[in-house]
Amino acid sequence: MNVNVVCIGKIKDKYIIEGINEFSKRMQAFGKLKIIELKEDGNDTNREISIQKESEEIIKTLEKNKGYNVLLDIGGKNFSSEEMASKIEELGVRGTSTINFIIGGSYGVSQELRKVADLRLSFSKMTFPHQLMRLILMEQIYRWFSILKNIKYHK
């Protein structure tokens, strides 16, 4: 299965980059993983303009990388790791070859992007730093695939 992580902005902290690289390397055993970093708008004076521009860029990227779109959204549905692994397995059985995991900008995403999402996924009601959320997502993606392949990572 092809997995794309579509996100806004670049990671700056070395320890987070190292963690992301480690899980990217581990994922090679399960399929193709690609991280697609899109430019942060950076318009601090008008958040709505930033949200709109960043969301439009994400939507354009999703149109090029057709697949099942999972938007990380605090208002989304909660899954256990096992439930999400089952969801990924179900998608594979249905013939889905690509899953796009989407992390919007720090100000959020537009309603248009929410409508494009096939699934809105919440990790928690808590707020996490944007860069750290990418690392958490990468770890969970690896965990979901290790559950499916019955690898002893998940206990």
Residues in binding site: 72, 104, 123-128
Nearest to 20 by CA among 29, 10, 30: 10
Integer angstrom CA distances of residue 18 from 101, 110, 149, 153: 20, 31, 24, 19
Distance (Å, whole) CA 101 – CA 155? 24
Distance (Å, whole) CA 30 – CA 146? 8
Question: 76 with 124: CB under 8 angstroms?
Answer: no
Residue list for the binding site for S-adenosyl-L-methionine: 72, 104, 123-128
10 Rama class: left (phi>0) / alpha (psi -120 to 50) / beta: beta
